Amino acid sequence: MSYGSSSRFTILTVCTGNICRSPAAERLFRSAFGTNGDVAVGSAGIGALVGEPIHGPMANLLRDIEVDTEDFAARMLTEDLVRNADLILGMTREHRAAVVELAPAAVKRTFTIREFARLAAEVDRDELEANAGPDPTPGSRLAALVPLAAQHRAAVEAELDDVVDPFRRRDKVYRQSFDQILPTARTIARIALNL
């Protein structure tokens, strides 16, 4: 099955500097899906600190659960990155809006990460499997999940959608941010992997 511009389903996570929240989500997804599957994951920032590694406190939280943090360099969000992504997950509503402003056609496949996890959990698993094709893969499940999850969109309070920005704040704020990202990434991966 073909997705976007490649043979792999592509997830793009987006935050501001691309050194804390979106790389944490990217690396959690990469850890869940592995390197040989049909899911590719990348991240970018709307005001990226281009070339920077994952910020120390967030990298430590990832390493604590044995998630690789090496060989990362922050990059700026571009229209091409959005156009080539099958699912775009912003860390806040502001990031979601910035993606859609950059590429309006991406609106139906752009969510906040917490929003998408919440909506994905509402999708009927039998319906998902039926829409994922005759021999479902994580990529085909994600491709089927995006429109099914979008059907459940509803207005909620911003704090249910947004991941707190920990940059240059205390370690406990990094922990709070990480604790918002980790379960959402796990929920999405578990559904895609049919676990």
pLDDT at residue 154, rounded to an integer: 86
Please report whether residue 194 resides in a domain. Answer: no
Neighbour-count burial for 159-195, b at 16+ CB within 10 Å, e otherwise = eebbbbbbbeeeeebbeebbebbbebbebbbebbbee
Profile the chain (195 residues) by mean pLDDT over runs of 10 residues.
66 97 97 86 96 96 96 97 97 96 96 97 94 92 96 86 92 96 97 91
Active site residues: 15, 21, 135
Cα distances (angstroms) measured from residue 10 to each of 7, 18, 31, 127, 186: 9, 17, 15, 22, 17
Please report whether residue 157 resides in a domain. Answer: yes
Please report whether residue 161 resides in a domain. Answer: yes
Please report whether residue 4 resides in a domain. Answer: no
Which pair of tokens denotes residue 168? 């240059």
SS3 99: helix
Please report whether residue 66 resides in a domain. Answer: yes
* Residue 118's CATH number: 3.40.50.2300
Distance, in Å, from the CA atom of 178 to the CA atom of 172, rounded to the nearest integer, reads 10
The total number of structural domains that make up the chain: 1
pLDDT at residue 4, rounded to an integer: 52
Which pair of tokens denotes residue 170? 């205390």
Strands (E), 26-91: 39-45, 87-90
Exposed/middle/buried for 86, CB within 10 Å: 0-12, 13-18, 19+?
buried
Which pair of tokens denotes residue 176? 């709070």
Distance, in Å, from the CA atom of 4 to the CA atom of 135, rounded to the nearest integer, reads 19
What pTM was computed for the model? 0.94
pLDDT at residue 156, rounded to an integer: 85
Q: Whole domain around residue 177: which residue ranges?
A: 9-188
* Partner residues linked to 14 by β-bridges: 44, 90
Please report whether residue 75 resides in a domain. Answer: yes
Please report whether residue 135 resides in a domain. Answer: yes
